[in-house]
Amino acid sequence: MNTHAENEKSKPIGIFDSGIGGLTVVKSLLYMLPKESLIYFGDTARLPYGTKSKKTLIDFSLQNVDFLLKKNVKLIVVACNSASSAAIKEMQEYSPVPVIGVIEPGAISALNATKSKYIGIIGTRGTVQSGAYYRTLITMDSNVKILQQACPLLVPLIEEGWLFHQSTKNILSEYLVPFKNEKLIDVILLGCTHYPLLKHMIKEELPNVEIVDSASATSVIVEKYLQDNSLLNPIFENKIEEYYLSDITENFITLASEFLGKSIADKVKLYKNDN
């Protein structure tokens, strides 16, 4: 029996995000890989990341990676589009364990889904301006056509809990106009981990378009990596599930439950990563 290999398999997967949006990735991981231990870090004291500069995001991301490495994780998932687009290379160079962002899995999934080779992308202003999805898609398939739209108000609307509110519908409808005008677009890539919570409304606005979300796409890539490297945890026993936030408020706890579909009130600990 190879004890070292068994130990490696039982190590947790580390996940971080600027806040609680990355819990859509956790939800997907819990569903697809129920035997894996998970350690989540949400940098709620410094959210949002979407409005911050590349330099600042690199600093923050490396601090978050450090924290997860101290927790002895076997793999790090960057469940944050802003951090993935600004700092994935820096994190991969820095970390001794693999670092998987949400951009590449989302791009692969969108390319697999499109027939027309014309893909729409929605995200925060930071993600769209970074051009990360755009570059990744073009590198993978130079024939693909892309239309991007920044939707800065969707995260605040989701965090307000207005998931079925008329104003959310109006604002979303306005943001999606460019896609309605481009009939050839057959795939919309949700370039923000919050957006799966508005899937029902996006589907209503764009009934003939397939919706691809990075959260689910990332879980698929994580599973594949663990399988290919014989790192899947084979047993349910001693599984851990921990959530750390750099700032804890009642609102974060309520929202977290909304994102995850279950309460994490008894699993949340405070961790300050900036000093």
Q: Of 157, 176, 187, 202, which one interacts with a copy of itself (CB under 8 A)?
A: 157
Query: Of the ranges 83-91, 158-166, 189-197, 226-234, which one interacts with a copy of itself (CB under 8 A)?
Result: 158-166
Q: What x-and-dash track marks residues 173-212 binding a copy of itself by CB under 8 A?
A: -x--------------------------------------
CB of 45 to a copy of itself, least distance (A): 5
Site for a copy of itself in 106-125 (CB under 8 A): 125
Binding flag, residue 131, a copy of itself (CB under 8 A): no
Q: Two tokens at 23?
A: 């819990």
CB of 95 to a copy of itself, least distance (A): 20
> For residues 212 and 198, is the Cβ–Cβ distance under 8 A?
no
Show the CA angle centred on residue 97, arms to residues 235 and 59, nearest 5°.
Answer: 130
Binding flag, residue 153, a copy of itself (CB under 8 A): yes
Show the CA angle centred on residue 132, arms to residues 131 and 135, nearest 5°.
Answer: 80
Binding flag, residue 53, a copy of itself (CB under 8 A): yes
Q: Two tokens at 209?
A: 């378009």
Q: Of 62, 94, 97, 152, which one interacts with a copy of itself (CB under 8 A)?
A: 152
Binding flag, residue 30, a copy of itself (CB under 8 A): no
- Nearest CB to a copy of itself, comparing residues 35 and 125: 125
Catalytic residue ranges: 80, 192
CB of 256 to a copy of itself, least distance (A): 13
Distance (Å) of CA 140 to CA 83, 110, 145, 183, 257: 21, 11, 12, 23, 36
Query: Of the ranges 86-94, 185-193, 221-229, 245-253, which one interacts with a copy of itself (CB under 8 A)?
Result: 245-253
Q: Two tokens at 1?
A: 């029996």
Binding flag, residue 156, a copy of itself (CB under 8 A): yes
Interaction site with a copy of itself (CB under 8 A): 44-47, 51-53, 56, 125, 152-153, 155-157, 159-160, 166-167, 170-171, 174, 246-249, 251-252, 274-275
